[in-house]
Structure formats: C-alpha cells, structure tokens
Structure 1
Amino acid sequence: MMRIRLAREGDAQGIAYVHTESWKTTYRGIVPDDVLDHLTTESRLSQWEQQLQSSEKDQILIVAEDQDGKIVGFACGGKEREALPYDGELYAIYLLHSYQKSGIGRQLVKQVVHHLKTCQMRSMIIWALEQNPACRFYEKLGGIPVDTKWVRVGNIDLAEVAYGWSDLTSFHHSLVQMIGILSKSEPH
C-alpha cells in the first residue's frame, strides 16, 4: 500500500536519495556521465533540509512512501518562477525507477495541483529536459509544450521544455478520473 503525505522534518535524507537515484536512472545518456557519477545523497541533502524548513505558504512538498515507510518518490510545487503567463509550477517530481509507471506519479501531481488550486492558482507549468522520458508522462496528462530554454548541465547545453496546463480545475478533475479508473482496473 502506497501512502502520499506532506513531507516533514526528517524526510530530507529520503528525498535526497530519491532525487539523486532518479537522476542517475533517468538522465544516463542525456546528462554527462561525470555529472551523474558525482551525484550523492549528501550533495542534495542541504537543499532538501532547507526546503523542509521553508515557510512559504504557497509551496508544497509531498512524498510517496511504500508499506515499510521508505520514501520512494516526491513532488514539489508553488508559484511559477519564470514570469510565464502561468500562476503555478510543478517544480519537481521524482520516483525511484522501480516505482515508475505504477500510478504514483499521477497521485503526486494530483496533490500538487490540489494545493496550487487552494492557493488560488489557475494554471501550471513544469520544466523538463527535452530528452527526458517523463515528457511523454506530461503529454499523457494533457501538458502542452509552451516554451523552451537552454540549460547548462556539466559541460553541455541541453534544451528544456515547459509543459503547460491552462486550467487547473479541469486538469485536477481529469486526474481524479484517471486515478479512479486506474484503481478500479487494478486486481484486488
């Protein structure tokens, strides 16, 4: 049984682990190997400790735990940061490779979208490296490419694409329906 909950003090280690391991499995062959080979949980730990201590009311950080209480995924979001015509942004969503394509990603997105809506945000974007296999996930969820920029990772420049949803109310409704359909089709 998977549990989705708000992140809390003490979760930084698990979040940093998922963050680094997801990068290593998702971006191998996209991002330079030396960048991935030097990623460690410890290198991301202070970032997530600071995030957990942040008192930004419009931001949310949620985790997915397995039945043993191990963090296997997380998502975070808040106000849009690039001055695009969108209110909210899904800053990051990561799952350990073995938990991908199980419906957990949709549940994490649903929780972030719900939070953004409660903060009066009506639209949302997410930035993803153009070669990231998760781009298909965002497209299946109805995300439309709305912008592109270049980012330097290691010693190379990579294209990053913004996927946008202009109506969070209808997007949230379709997510709830998708999750309901998926859970009804799973064996009991």
Structure 2
Amino acid sequence: MAISIRLAQKADAPLIARLHFHTWRETYRDLAPQAAFDGVTEEVRLARWQSMLADEGSERIILVAEIDGQLAGFGMAGPPSHEIFQGRAEIKFLYVGAAFKRQGVGRELLLRLARHMMKAGYDGVGLGVVAGNDPAIAFYEGMRGTREGNYTDPGPIWRSDNHLYVWDDLPAITAHEGNGSS
C-alpha cells in the first residue's frame, strides 16, 4: 500500500467535500452543537471546496492523499488566520478517512504541508485542534507537536474551543518525510 500525495485539483472538490462532510460529522458528533450539524451540509462543503480550489492566486496549498486510487485524506495550509499563530503558517485542515486511519496518511500530509510552508518562507507551523478531540490530540503529540495555548475559533456557526499545537523546527520535522519515522 503506497500513499500518493499530490496537489488538489478543481475536479477533486466533490470527493474532498464528501470526505470532509462525513469525517467531520463522525469526529465532532459528541463535540459540536446541533446547529453546526444542521448548517454544515455536504452541499455547503462542496461550494466551499469549489471556491477554495478555484482561487489560484491564494497563498495556501491544498493536498490530497490517495491509496489505490481512492481519496484517503486531504490537508490545507497557508497564512495564519488568528493572531495566536504568531507568524507561523496555519494548517487549517488535516482530515483522513475512517478506512485509512493509522496507515501513515495523516503523518505524510502533515509533513508535506510543513515542507511546503517552509518553502513559502515560514519558520514554523501550527494548527488548532478542538478541545475534546482526543484522537487528534494524541496524533499531534505523537508527531511531536508542542501545545502552545488555547483560542476560540470564530467559525461561522460554531465557536469551538481549540488547543494550538506548533512545530517550530520545520527542517527537523520535514527531514522525517517519507521515511517512516515520526
């Protein structure tokens, strides 16, 4: 089983939206309010991904991971959206489909996004993880992320409490890319 990671294309929007919708609902079923579930439909996700993938002038990068031709996960990174990132790049999305968890997909996406942000001139990356999302917290800590604080994501429907995880030595983290080390 080989993981293939590539830049997302406009045509990937429906598959990304579907994976995002289902994975988000599963991940946050016990954490998010009902209003978030009611307001974030697969159609809403599709419209957002179509818009983001059409924005070619953006400073962000969107990657997809595939295994045997199937979308296994996706990630997006770019300029920070909140002052808590303190000039670090932000990994805004990192999702892996349920059938592909614990196969290295999340790890490879995280490392590849970090490498792209290093090439874009950032010295560090950070991401917010919703408080209570224990599997993600364990993953980021296993990837040697450092918890640097907390903040509230002002999302359009759900103001979630988040922990900030950071990686400030991008050359060190990206040196592990593709070799099975963590």
Contact 1:79-1:89 at 8 Å conserved across structures:
yes
Deviates more, 1:23-32 or 1:121-130: 23-32
Which residue in the other structure is 2:96 paired with? Answer: 95
1:20 equivalent in alignment to 2:36 = no
Contact 2:89-2:125 at 8 Å conserved across structures:
yes
Which residue in the other structure is 2:63 paired with? Answer: 62
Q: Tell me, in whole angstroms, the C-alpha distance in 2 between the residues paired with 1:156 and 1:90.
A: 19
Aligned to 1:117, what secondary structure does the other structure show? Answer: helix
1:144 equivalent in alignment to 2:143 = no
Aligned to 1:113, what secondary structure does the other structure show? Answer: helix
Query: In percent, how many aligned pairs have the same letter?
Result: 26
Aligned to 2:30, what secondary structure does the other structure show? Answer: coil
Contact 2:72-2:105 at 8 Å conserved across structures:
no
Which residue in the other structure is 2:129 paired with? Answer: 128
Change (3 A) 1:151 1:90: closer
Contact 1:14-1:70 at 8 Å conserved across structures:
no
Give 1:156 shift: 7.1
Change (3 A) 1:144 1:53: same
Q: Tell me, in whole angstroms, the C-alpha distance in 2 between the residues paired with 1:8 and 1:157.
A: 30
Which residue in the other structure is 1:110 paired with? Answer: 111
Contact 2:66-2:73 at 8 Å conserved across structures:
yes
Q: Deviations over 1:43-100 (max 9, x none)?
A: 2111101111112453100001231x33221000011221232331111101111211
The alignment of Structure 1 onto Structure 2 pairs a total of residues equal to: 178
Change (3 A) 1:158 1:119: closer
Which residue in the other structure is 1:186 paired with? Answer: none
Which residue in the other structure is 1:76 paired with? Answer: 76
Aligned to 1:101, what secondary structure does the other structure show? Answer: coil
Contact 1:32-1:153 at 8 Å conserved across structures:
no
Provide structure 2 residue ranges, at least 5 long, that are not aligned to the other structure: none
Aligned to 1:25, what secondary structure does the other structure show? Answer: helix
Q: Tell me, in whole angstroms, the C-alpha distance in 2 between the residues paired with 1:110 and 1:156.
A: 28
Deviates more, 1:80-89 or 1:104-113: 80-89
Give 1:152 shift: 6.5
Which residue in the other structure is 1:40 paired with? Answer: 41
Give 1:118 shift: 0.9
Q: Tell me, in whole angstroms, the C-alpha distance in 2 between the residues paired with 1:150 and 1:96.
A: 26
Write the letter of the residue equivalent to 2:52.
Answer: Q
Contact 1:80-1:88 at 8 Å conserved across structures:
yes
